[in-house]
């Protein structure tokens, strides 16, 4: 079997032209959507970067795999060898296979596994555990060296990732493969030229934040606030979002090169392709600009596209089913013909890919653990956000936020006080979900809240709050 997983950092779904965005940001991703299925309500189970990728590769929610934040608490994923002094063997009570990751599933079945990513520059050793080959593009170029003065995990560009990915595919020489390609763009800092940015300056702006909201945000003294980011007006907002869109278009161009290589070598049709993001990016909808900091849709909702391999039945188009990125591992295993390891918690999307009428979930639950500690539950109608630690925004972030998503997709009107019965019902659902999915007696997100989330602990002393 041939599998390609494309993971694009900071890519929110509503800035993908194939998802209805007004700007022409993603012609190559759009073509992939035309060949497959796009999930309109796909959420990362955990955010941001490290928690999201732990969920993607482990097939388990952060409440089970233990990776809910960045920093030192992100270093170990829940596996038996991280619980005790491991002697290099597995016990009968903890056999190896239930703990396999997605790449490990292919590795153990003799399929060539290759990762190409800037992500290992984050200190997360669990991520590159058991691959045949893992490549880290060597950057920066001369221009980036002048700007940064050193090699940073924020400097690899999409061109370098695609170059390495194509080189890796050529080394496979037609054999089966599992290739993971992670693109840092469109994460900040934005590095596109003025000419590239100009392509998007006339794109219609989203309705929020309004000019009045920006004016209020200017009064906040906070990390990534309007004042710190130089946002005085909707014109400034337009410039920021245009730079973001230009980065998306740049990354899309190099994703297109990778897909074109598969087509040129005759491997595209038979390859199972998954494209997703690790999280999105918020642009002032709730007060912060160019940041991923919450369980709002700007951070948590990403494009999720699946193109099944040739010879399998599926119904092209869009789906409104609620899914998370934990569902990708069992989906890929399903097409591979392997039973998912027992510890995996997602559900195969194959029935939904085969029929838009297939039954889906009633709700999904997802967490955020950088700057804040939040858990949200999303149903067809409602979204409840429970803030366990407000980070630098104590007194501003409510403990409970309830949004009626059909009438208020931008999550602007918190109606928690008017619907206490809904809040109680959804919070009970979250508590039961956490109890059912967690490993051990402690909820890792609660531990993050008790100790303070990563990011907050780093910056709390440097800002006065809002």
Is the N-terminal amide bond of 189 cis, ω within 30° of 0?
Answer: yes
| Domain definitions of the chain by residue range | 2-83+96-361
58, 129 contact by CB (below 8 A): no
User: In whole numbers, what is the pLDDT of the chain averaged over residues?
Assistant: 92
Specify the DSSP element, H or E, that contains 390: none
Spatial separation of the C-alpha atoms in residues 364 and 377, rounded to whole Å: 6
> Using 50, 70 and 90 to split pLDDT, how confident is the model at 152?
low
pTM for this prediction: 0.95
Angle value at C-alpha 449, between 446 and 450, nearest 5 degrees: 90
Beta-strand relationship, 271-277 and 177-183: unpaired
State the architecture of 2-83+96-361 in CATH terms.
Answer: 3-Layer(aba) Sandwich (3.40)
> Span 107-126, mean pLDDT?
86
What's the token pair of residue 260? 């074109």
The tally of CA atoms less than 13 A away on the side-chain side of residue 351 is 10
The tally of CA atoms less than 13 A away on the side-chain side of residue 426 is 27
Cβ partners under 8 Å of residue 154, min gap 6: 148, 184, 187, 188, 189
Q: What is the DSSP letter of 348?
A: -
Q: Among 365, 358, 362, which residue's Cα sits nearest to residue 379?
A: 362
**Confidence (pLDDT) at 222:** 85
- 339-396 pLDDT per residue, tens: 999 999 999 999 999 999 999 999 999 999 999 999 999 999 999 999 999 998 888 8
Q: Among 412, 12, 413, which residue's Cα sits nearest to residue 207?
A: 412
> Using 50, 70 and 90 to split pLDDT, how confident is the model at 87?
low
Count of all residues that appear for the chain in the document: 466
> Using 50, 70 and 90 to split pLDDT, how confident is the model at 397?
very high
């Amino acid at each position: 079997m041939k599998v390609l997983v494309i993971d694009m950092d900071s890519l929110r779904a509503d800035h993908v032209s194939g998802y209805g965005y007004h700007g022409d940001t993603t012609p190559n991703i759009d073509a992939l959507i035309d060949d497959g299925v796009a999930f309109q309500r796909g959420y990362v189970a955990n955010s941001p970067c490290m928690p999201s990728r732990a969920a993607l590769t482990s097939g388990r929610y952060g409440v089970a795999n233990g990776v809910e934040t960045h920093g030192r608490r992100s270093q170990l994923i829940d596996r038996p060898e991280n619980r005790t002094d491991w002697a290099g063997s597995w016990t009968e009570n903890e056999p190896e296979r239930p703990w396999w990751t997605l790449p490990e599933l292919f590795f153990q079945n003799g399929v060539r596994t290759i990762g190409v990513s800037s992500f290992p520059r984050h200190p997360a050793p669990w991520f590159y555990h058991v691959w045949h080959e893992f490549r880290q593009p060597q950057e920066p170029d001369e221009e980036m060296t002048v700007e940064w003065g050193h090699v940073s995990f924020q400097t690899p560009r999409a061109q370098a990732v695609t170059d390495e990915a194509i080189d890796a595919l050529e080394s496979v020489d037609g054999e089966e493969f599992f290739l993971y390609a992670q693109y840092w763009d469109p994460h900040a800092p934005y590095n596109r030229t003025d000419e590239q940015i100009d392509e998007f300056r006339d794109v219609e702006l989203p309705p929020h934040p309004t000019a009045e909201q920006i004016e209020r945000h200017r009064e906040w003294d906070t990390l990534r606030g309007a004042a710190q980011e130089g946002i005085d007006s909707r014109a400034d907002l337009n410039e920021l979002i245009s730079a973001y869109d230009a980065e998306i278009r740049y990354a899309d161009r190099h994703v297109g090169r990778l897909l074109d290589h598969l087509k040129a070598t005759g491997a595209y049709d038979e390859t199972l392709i998954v494209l997703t993001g690790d999280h999105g990016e918020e642009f002032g909808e709730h007060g912060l600009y160019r940041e991923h900091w919450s369980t709002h849709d700007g951070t948590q909702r990403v494009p999720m596209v699946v193109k099944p391999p040739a010879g399998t039945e599926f119904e092209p188009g869009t789906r409104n089913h609620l899914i998370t990125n934990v569902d990708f591992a069992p989906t890929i295993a399903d097409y591979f013909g392997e039973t998912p390891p027992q510890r995996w918690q997602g559900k195969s999307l194959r029935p939904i890919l085969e029929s838009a009428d297939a039954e889906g979930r009633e709700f999904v639950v997802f967490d955020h653990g950088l700057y804040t500690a939040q858990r949200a539950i999303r149903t067809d109608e409602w979204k409840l956000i429970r803030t366990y630690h407000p980070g630098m925004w104590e007194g501003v972030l409510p403990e409970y936020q309830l949004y009626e998503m059909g009438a208020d997709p931008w999550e602007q009107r918190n109606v928690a006080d008017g619907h206490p019965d809904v809040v109680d019902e959804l919070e009970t659902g979250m508590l039961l979900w956490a109890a059912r999915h967690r490993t051990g007696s402690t909820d890792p997100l609660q531990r993050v809240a008790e100790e303070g989330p990563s990011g907050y602990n780093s910056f709390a002393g440097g800002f006065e709050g809002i």
